[in-house]
Structure 1
Amino acid sequence: MNKLTRRLSLAGITGAALLFLAGCVQTHMVNGVRVPTEAGMNGFTYRFIVTPMSDFVDLFAHNLHMGYGWGIILVTLIIRLIILPLGLYQAHKATYTQEKTAYLKPVFEPLNQRLKEAQTPEAKMAAQQALMQAQKDNGVNMFASLGCLPMLIQWPFFIALYNAAAYTQGITTASFFGINLGHPSVLLAVISGIFYLIQTYISTIGMPEEQKRTSRMMLIMSPAMIFVFSLISPAGVSLYWAVGGIVMVLQQVIVTFIIKPRLRKRIEKEFELNPPKMVDLPKDVTPAAATAQGLDNLISSARKDVTPSAGGRNAGKQNRKN
C-alpha cells in the first residue's frame, strides 16, 4: 500500500467516523433544530452512553452554574485528557514503525523498486515475498501500528461526547459568548478547522521534503472535513471539536518533539548492536528499468548506506566484507 493510498484511506476513515458519530442516535427536526426522536432516546446508545455524558455536562451547567458552553468545554477536556495516554500509546507504535522504516530505506528501496517494476504476477509475488522477508528480518511489523484496541476503547467516549454536545436538553437553547449552541456557528467552525490544521502541520515537522510533498493532501483534507462538518453541525458540537482540537495539538506536540526524537535514538542504538540485514533481490526476474549490473550496484550501495557508525544515523558508512 503506497503512501497516497494510506492517506486517502485515513481520510476516508475520518469521514466515515464523523458520519457514524452523527448517526448513532435517531433524530428529527423540531422548529429548525435537530433533536432525538422518542425511539432514539430509548435506544441503547442514547440511554447507556449519551445520557451519562449529558448528566456530566449538566453537572457543570446546572449544579455548578457554569452554563452549557463551559460545561461542554470542561467535560471534553476531562475526557480527552483521560484517554490521552491511549492516543499517545497508539501514536508511539505508529511512529516507531515509521521511523524504523525510514531508517531502513536503503534496505527496502531496491525491493520496492523491483516490486514497482515487476511485469508479471510471478515477479510481483517474488518481489513482495522478498520485501516481507526484509521487513521480518529487520523487525518491522507494518501491522503492529494498526492496533484497534486503543481506538475501540476511545470510541464510546467520542460517541458520548459528540451526541451529548448535540442533543443534551438545554444546549439547543443555550448560548456561549453570544453564540447560539443549537445552531451552526461559522466562527467555531473556523476555530475547529484551524486547530486541526495546526495539528496536521506539526505532524509534518522533521519530515523529509519528499514525504512532506506527499502529505500536503492530508494536511488540507483532514482540517477541511472538520471545518465542513462543524459548519453544518450545532455550535455545541463545533465547540466540542474545537476543544478536542486543542488536545490533539497537545498530543501531536508530544509525539513530534518528545517521542519521535527518542525513538530515533533508540532505533540507531538497536542497529548499532544488530546491523540491518539485507535480502537479495529475486534472481529469476529482471526489472524493466535496470540491468543486472545496475541492480548489483544498487544492492551494494544499499549495503554500504544502511550500516551506521557510532557517529550518527547512516554516518561513516562502512564497506561490508564478503
Structure 2
Amino acid sequence: MKKKLNRIFLSGLGLSMLLLLSGCVQTTKENGQIVPTGEGWVYNLLVRPMGSVIQFFATDMGLGFGVAVILVTIIVRFLILPLGLYQSWKASYQSEKMAYLKPIFEPINERMRTATSQEEKLAAQSELMAAQKENGVNPLGGMGCLPLLIQMPFFTAMYYAARFTDGVAESSFLGMDLGQRSLILTGVIAVLYFGQSWLSVQGVAEEQKAQMKSMMFMMPLMMIFMSINLPAGVGLYWLVGGFFSIFQQLITMYIIKPRLRKKIADEFEKNPPKAYKTTKARKDVTQASDTTVQSAITTNNKRRNAGKQRKRK
C-alpha cells in the first residue's frame, strides 16, 4: 500500500510540476490563439533553442516537421535518460531490499492487518519503522525529488517547442494534421503508457501486484486527459516519451534489478540482517532468533530465484 501511495504521490508531483513550470513560459492570446510572449527563463534557455533545432531538421535538412519533432524529442530524452535511470536505480534498490527482508517485515505487517485497536496498529507501525531503520531501508522508497525536478524543465520545454515552433501547426505527418488533435494518436499513446505501467508490475510479489493494479490505469488515463485536446504535434512528443518509458522500464527490469539483487545479497552476507526486537512484551508475538530469520530469508530468496528460472525456460 505504501508503494502505491508513493507512486500516486510522485505522479501527482510530476503533473503539478509540469503545470507549475508552464508558468515559466509566459503566453498571451492573439487572434483567439494562445502563443508564447517570448519571456520566461524556460522559454529563453530551452524552448527557443529546441524550436530552432526543430526548424533546422524540418527545413534546412528537409525532413519535415513531424520527423523533426520526433528527432529532437529523442535527443532530449537521451540527454536526460541518465537521470531517469538513476531514479529507477534508487527506487529499485529500496524495493529489492524490502523484498529480501520480507521474512522480517511480514510478521509486523500481519500484526498491522489484524490489529483490533488503533493502539495496536500504531504500535505495529512504530515497530515496522524501527525494523526498517535498523536494516537500512528507506520507507519512502529512496525516490529523491531532485532528479525529477531537474527533468521537468526539459519536459516542459519540449512540450512548448512541439506546440509553438513556427511551421509545426501548418504541417502534416503520416496523414495527421499536426495542428489538430488526433484521436488515433491519443489511443496509441494510451496503449504505450499502459504497456509501461504493465511492465512496472512484473516481477513484484503477488500481494504488491494486486495493490499496484490500479496504477496500471492511472498513467494511461492521465495521458489521455493531457493529450486528447492537444494538437498532434504535441502528441508526437508524448508518443516518443511512451517508447522511452518502456525502454527505461526494460533496462530497469533486466539490467538494474538483477545487479541490485546481487549487490543486496552480498551486502547482507557480510552484515546479516537482524530482526527488530521490541522492548515491550507482546502476548501474541514470538521473538524469532537471528538464525530463524536468516533461514527464512534464504528460503524466500530461493523461491524468488526459482520463479525467475521458470520464467526464463
TM-score (norm 2): 0.85
Pairwise CA distance, 1:64: 1.1
Q: Which residue of 2 aligns with 1:238?
A: 235
CA distance in 2, matches of 1:69, 1:205: 34
Pairwise CA distance, 1:226: 0.7
Q: Which residue of 1 aligns with 2:74?
A: 77
Aligned-residue Cα RMSD (Å) equals 2.9
Q: Which residue of 1 aligns with 2:286?
A: 296
SS in 2 for 1:146: coil
Cα 1:136–1:203 shift into 2, 3 Å: same
Q: Give the aligned residue type for 2:162.
A: A
Deviation digits for residues 4-36 of structure 1, max 9, x if unmatched? 422332342344345446554344555665433
Q: Which residue of 2 aligns with 1:25?
A: 25
SS in 2 for 1:197: helix
Determine if the alignment matches structure 1 residue 277 to structure 2 residue 274.
yes
Q: Which residue of 2 aligns with 1:9?
A: 9
Q: Give the aligned residue type for 1:154.
A: Q
CA distance in 1, matches of 2:271, 2:2: 28
CA distance in 2, matches of 1:33, 1:181: 15
Contact 2:195–2:246 (Cα < 8 Å) also in 1: yes
CA distance in 2, matches of 1:175, 1:45: 27
Pairwise CA distance, 1:313: 6.3
Cα 1:170–1:302 shift into 2, 3 Å: farther
- Trace 1:29-178 onto structure 2 (pairs within 5 A): 33-36=33-36, 40-115=37-112, 117=115, 119=117, 126-143=123-140, 145-178=142-175
Deviation digits for residues 277-297 of structure 1, max 9, x if unmatched? 11123526x5xxxxx1x4117
Deviation digits for residues 95-119 of structure 1, max 9, x if unmatched? 0100101111121123334455374
Cα 1:234–1:29 shift into 2, 3 Å: farther
Contact 1:308–1:314 (Cα < 8 Å) also in 2: no
CA distance in 1, matches of 2:19, 2:151: 17
SS in 1 for 2:298: coil
Q: Give the aligned residue type for 1:308.
A: T
Determine if the alignment matches structure 1 residue 264 to structure 2 residue 261.
yes
Q: Which residue of 1 aligns with 2:298?
A: 308
Pairwise CA distance, 1:252: 0.5
Contact 1:192–1:242 (Cα < 8 Å) also in 2: yes
Pairwise CA distance, 1:82: 1.6
CA distance in 2, matches of 1:5, 1:27: 34
Pairwise CA distance, 1:162: 0.8
CA distance in 1, matches of 2:289, 2:19: 47
CA distance in 2, matches of 1:124, 1:308: 29
Any stretches of 5+ residues in structure 1 without a counterpart? 287-291, 316-322
SS in 1 for 2:35: strand
Q: Give the aligned residue type for 2:7.
A: R
CA distance in 1, matches of 2:169, 2:103: 57
Pairwise CA distance, 1:165: 0.6
Q: Which residue of 2 aligns with 1:221?
A: 218
Contact 2:275–2:290 (Cα < 8 Å) also in 1: no
Contact 2:89–2:256 (Cα < 8 Å) also in 1: yes
Pairwise CA distance, 1:221: 0.9
Identity rate, percent: 45
Cα 1:53–1:29 shift into 2, 3 Å: same
Q: Which residue of 2 aligns with 1:289?
A: none
CA distance in 1, matches of 2:220, 2:108: 35
Alignment length (residue pairs): 304
CA distance in 2, matches of 1:22, 1:243: 20
Deviation digits for residues 35-94 of structure 1, max 9, x if unmatched? 33xxx3223332232111111211111221111111100000011012111111110110
Pairwise CA distance, 1:180: 1.1
Contact 2:66–2:173 (Cα < 8 Å) also in 1: yes
Contact 1:275–1:307 (Cα < 8 Å) also in 2: no
CA distance in 2, matches of 1:115, 1:71: 54
TM-score (norm 1): 0.83
SS in 2 for 1:172: coil
Q: Which has the higher mean CA deviation after the structures are superposed, 233-242 or 5-14? A: 5-14
Pairwise CA distance, 1:130: 2.8
